[in-house]
Structure 1
Amino acid sequence: MGKPRIEEWTQLRGIAFLAIVMQHNIAEYIYRSDIEQPDSIMLTMIYHLTRFGTPTFVFLSGVMLFYHHRQAKPEYTRFIRKRFGDIYIPFVLWTLIYWLSVRIFTPEFWSSGTLDLRSLIRELFIPQTGYHLWFVIMIFQFYVLFPLFWIGVQLVYRQIIKITRITPTRSVLFLVLIAAGIYGLLMKWSYYDMGGWAASLSQPWSTLLEYRSYSWVMYWFYFLLGAVCAWAVDTWRNWSVRALPWMVSIFIGMYIWLGYDVLRGSGDVVNLNISTYLKPTTFIIIMAQMFMLYGFLILLRGKTTKFLNLLTWIGRYSFGGYLVHALIIYAIAYFTRPLQLGGWHLPITLLSFLVTAAIALAISCGLSRLPGSRYTVGLQRKRKHNSPVHGLDGMDPRRTPGPVTPVRASHSRETS
């Protein structure tokens, strides 16, 4: 028997995928020289509705791993081999696709007569043409280290059940608050201090700090929060609903503050990097958004609507959609960049978002039905005779959530 289906996880992943696509479309248009101030401000406001994207998918990665391996530690060789095939091979394939797609439209590529394989190797470690693929590098670190996380969570769990003075739920809440405080301090160091540290340190430490957004260290709190959710799903659901009024209030307050902070700190061109993921205030709004959306999904739980069915479908194909969506943005930009869009950046961005999401998901769905789909979109195609369709976690994506999807979170050019 498979584990019970947790529908809201798939739906939450669908919402986060749409936020990712919107965020990258905004980054394509908001920095153009002919953008007018009203469009720039409106795109900034929409941008701050998408900040939960990447951290939510780190959270969902932790949820899925701990949910499916709650009873026993995975056999490491088999575990990492499967994740390598489901996640890393698609990353390598799409890295090659992005690397080639950008270069074949460059005249120098044809005149030089060389492939510049050194730049391709660099893309496998520091993606630039496939700028969004950094997330696969970062999240794969959690898969590699997962057995250590599993052992740590088990040790903490055994200690919690020994405590008699307070309930296990309160013990977990207390630990989560301590972890949040530590993580908030890490965000403070990242945003205000680590840039200076990188300038004063020698190699390789300065490089590690410069590319700190590629490291699991900067996202560990969301992953372990996923473990809390996976260990007590019903308690998490109840708490999300009870905390909903507080989360809405915090979100509204932080939404106003982040918008004001960006507009105040920007010059003639809006600087969205002021709202980087690796910042304490952004961490607060991300947590409020994540819990708020989870609470709303719980309130809608059990209801069958076209909207929820659509979110479930989007979540199912989100990993493949994530891999391909930047290529769609490139294709649209090929036609829009030569145009003068003064006064039209907002509607063009919204239209580009809809087209990008629709085509990316259609491609992901189509590839999932072809041979070798595991290595292109992380899903095995549907077999005959009602055989299961395996997702990233070896489970039927029609029963349980499948792969995760992300968005770029960098301390430098986060939205490039």
Structure 2
Amino acid sequence: MKKPKIAEWTELRGLAFLAIVMQHNIAEYIYRTDIEQPDSVMLTMIYHLTRFGTPTFVFLSGALLFYHHRHAKQNYARFIKKRLGDIYMPFMIWTLIYWLAVRVFTPSFWSSGMPDLGSFVRELFLPQTGYHLWFVLMILQFYILFPLFLTGAHAVRKRLESNPHSRLTSGQRTLAIIIAAAAMYVCLLKWSYYDMSGWTNLLSEPWSSLLEYRSYSWIMYWFYFLLGAVCAWAVENWRGWTTKVLPWTIIVFIMMYIWLGYDVLRGSEDTMNLNISTYLKPSTFIIIMAQMLMFYGLLALLRDKDLGFRRLLDWIGRYSFGGYLVHALVIYSIAYFTRPLHLSGWHLLATVLSFAITVVTALGISWGLSRLPGSRFTVGLSRQRYKAKESNTLSSTQTRVKRQPSHSG
């Protein structure tokens, strides 16, 4: 039987998409030479509200994979073939689009005869023009390795349930494992942020390059994937726990928000250095966890309420993958007109307007492409599947008018 949809996952994906689009719009404006300090500080403050975006996508990928496949017999070849079609084919197509989009506006591209295809091949491994596409390569590693993760998860779960005489409940032991894993992950982030940059000078190839591009590796994000597995295995317990700890996650978020802002201001000079708040830093990990759990708890509290903003987040989350693929191209297009302008004193407003235009345009393109043939290979959505989903959504909406909402998820 088809498993019930977990509504807050799609809504949380919508929030994560909005956060990432805001991050990239901020990066477009905050480093301009004519920016004034008030705008720079305000953009930094907004930036620290968006840190949860990419790790939340990793968390949701883990949750969805374990939720739908934890009890199924895996045909690895068919599983990988489907994921390559859903994820890697759109990545290749959009890598080509970004590679061409940057070069067709360069006169040397037309005068040089044969284009440099070697640079396109490099883009397939180290995306530069489509700077955001690194995430697709990173998340694909989790899909390739998923059968191993699933085997490990089953082994851990069997071990947790095999000792009925333990003084700790299964939930308490699971929490202990999460805390231990979090401590290990913080150590990894500490090494990455403070130590590994010096290691690259001591190592030969290919190890130095692997360290240099370590942010492209699943190893740097495995903890969020683990949390997704825990959430998928006990959705109701996860909902209850995130709502129970909601006051604490709000407090931790506020404290870390103040600290990260101070840390960037202290470490920056004339230009704000947003790299101080990189994902691969222990203090950033704390605010990411606080934000992600806070938003999950809030969405879980509101999941039985038919609110307009929840329907909007659900729609955004549904088309977020295609929107993610195309949004940088929209930012490039806007920047083509804004970079020649003198925007001193207007960078905050320009960023907010650019963000709004990017969101509407990127999601509109994703929605439009999802209704065309071959939509699976452009935005990762099957046209027939989403027609069926929209029909089911309409039916379920009509049903909710007649009876109370279901608590099955």
The 1-side partners of 2:306 and 2:106 are apart by 49
**Which residue in 2 is equivalent to 1:4?**
4
Which string of whole-angstrom CA distances, capped at 9 and with x for unpartnered residues, describes residues 13-39 of structure 1? 000000000000000000000000000
Which string of whole-angstrom CA distances, capped at 9 and with x for unpartnered residues, describes residues 132-167 of structure 1? 000000000000000000000000000000123211
**Which residue in 2 is equivalent to 1:13?**
13
* 2:210 maps to which of 208, 211, 214: 208
Counterparts in 2 of 1:398 and 1:189: CA distance versus 1, 3 Å: farther
1:382–1:389 CA contact under 8 A, matched in 2: no
Counterparts in 2 of 1:290 and 1:398: CA distance versus 1, 3 Å: farther
1:8–1:301 CA contact under 8 A, matched in 2: yes
**Which residue in 1 is equivalent to 2:291?**
289
TM-score by length of 2: 0.94
Q: Secondary structure at the match of 1:370?
A: coil
**Which residue in 1 is equivalent to 2:341?**
339
Which string of whole-angstrom CA distances, capped at 9 and with x for unpartnered residues, describes residues 103-137 of structure 1? 00111111212210010000000000000000000
Which string of whole-angstrom CA distances, capped at 9 and with x for unpartnered residues, describes residues 210-254 of structure 1? 000000000000001100000000000000000000000000000
Q: Secondary structure at the match of 1:199?
A: coil
**Which residue in 1 is equivalent to 2:48?**
48
Q: What one-letter code is carried by the residue in structure 1 that aligns with 2:149? A: F
Question: Is 1:381 aligned to residue 386 of structure 2?
Answer: no
Q: Secondary structure at the match of 1:78?
A: helix
Higher helix residue share:
2
Q: What one-letter code is carried by the residue in structure 2 that aligns with 1:155? A: A
1:48–1:259 CA contact under 8 A, matched in 2: yes
Q: Which moved more, 1:2-11 or 1:109-118?
A: 109-118
Question: Is 1:58 aligned to residue 75 of structure 2?
Answer: no
The 1-side partners of 2:236 and 2:331 are apart by 39
Counterparts in 2 of 1:190 and 1:397: CA distance versus 1, 3 Å: farther
**Which residue in 2 is equivalent to 1:313?**
315
Q: What one-letter code is carried by the residue in structure 1 that aligns with 2:63? A: V
Q: What one-letter code is carried by the residue in structure 1 that aligns with 2:55? A: P
1:64–1:230 CA contact under 8 A, matched in 2: yes
**Which residue in 2 is equivalent to 1:68?**
68
Task: Using the aligned pairs only, state the percent identity.
Answer: 69
The 1-side partners of 2:394 and 2:213 are apart by 37
Q: What one-letter code is carried by the residue in structure 2 that aligns with 1:28? A: E
Q: What one-letter code is carried by the residue in structure 2 that aligns with 1:116? A: D
Q: What one-letter code is carried by the residue in structure 2 that aligns with 1:20? A: I
Query: Structure 1 residue 382: deviation in Å?
Result: 3.1
1:30–1:270 CA contact under 8 A, matched in 2: yes
Q: What one-letter code is carried by the residue in structure 2 that aligns with 1:168? A: S
Q: What one-letter code is carried by the residue in structure 2 that aligns with 1:10? A: T
The 1-side partners of 2:70 and 2:125 are apart by 32
Counterparts in 2 of 1:398 and 1:243: CA distance versus 1, 3 Å: farther
1:255–1:285 CA contact under 8 A, matched in 2: yes
1:379–1:389 CA contact under 8 A, matched in 2: no
Counterparts in 2 of 1:123 and 1:397: CA distance versus 1, 3 Å: farther
**Which residue in 2 is equivalent to 1:274?**
276
Query: Structure 1 residue 84: deviation in Å?
Result: 0.4
Counterparts in 2 of 1:397 and 1:365: CA distance versus 1, 3 Å: farther
Query: Structure 1 residue 388: deviation in Å?
Result: 5.8
The 1-side partners of 2:143 and 2:97 are apart by 24
Query: Structure 1 residue 72: deviation in Å?
Result: 2.6
The 2-side partners of 1:14 and 1:383 are apart by 19
- Once the two structures are superposed, the pairs formed by residues 35-184 of structure 1 within 5 Å of their partners are 35-163=35-163, 164-165=165-166, 166-184=168-186
Q: What one-letter code is carried by the residue in structure 1 that aligns with 2:27? A: A
The 1-side partners of 2:301 and 2:134 are apart by 34
- Once the two structures are superposed, the pairs formed by residues 368-407 of structure 1 within 5 Å of their partners are 368-382=370-384, 387=388
The 2-side partners of 1:75 and 1:325 are apart by 34
The 1-side partners of 2:301 and 2:150 are apart by 31
Moved over 2 A (4+): 386-390, 396-399
Q: What one-letter code is carried by the residue in structure 2 that aligns with 1:118? A: G
Question: Is 1:252 aligned to residue 265 of structure 2?
Answer: no
Question: Is 1:188 aligned to residue 195 of structure 2?
Answer: no
**Which residue in 2 is equivalent to 1:238?**
240
Listed as ranges, the gaps of 5+ residues in structure 1 are: 391-395, 400-416
The 2-side partners of 1:289 and 1:383 are apart by 32
Query: Structure 1 residue 255: deviation in Å?
Result: 0.4
The 1-side partners of 2:114 and 2:268 are apart by 41
Counterparts in 2 of 1:36 and 1:388: CA distance versus 1, 3 Å: closer
**Which residue in 2 is equivalent to 1:24?**
24
Aligned-CA RMSD value: 1.7
The 2-side partners of 1:208 and 1:76 are apart by 27
Listed as ranges, the gaps of 5+ residues in structure 2 are: 396-409
Counterparts in 2 of 1:154 and 1:85: CA distance versus 1, 3 Å: same
**Which residue in 2 is equivalent to 1:402?**
none
In the alignment of these two chains, the number of paired residues is 394
1:66–1:230 CA contact under 8 A, matched in 2: yes
1:328–1:360 CA contact under 8 A, matched in 2: yes
Query: Structure 1 residue 74: deviation in Å?
Result: 1.9
The 1-side partners of 2:333 and 2:240 are apart by 44
Counterparts in 2 of 1:99 and 1:269: CA distance versus 1, 3 Å: same
**Which residue in 1 is equivalent to 2:407?**
none
Query: Structure 1 residue 389: deviation in Å?
Result: 8.0
1:316–1:397 CA contact under 8 A, matched in 2: no
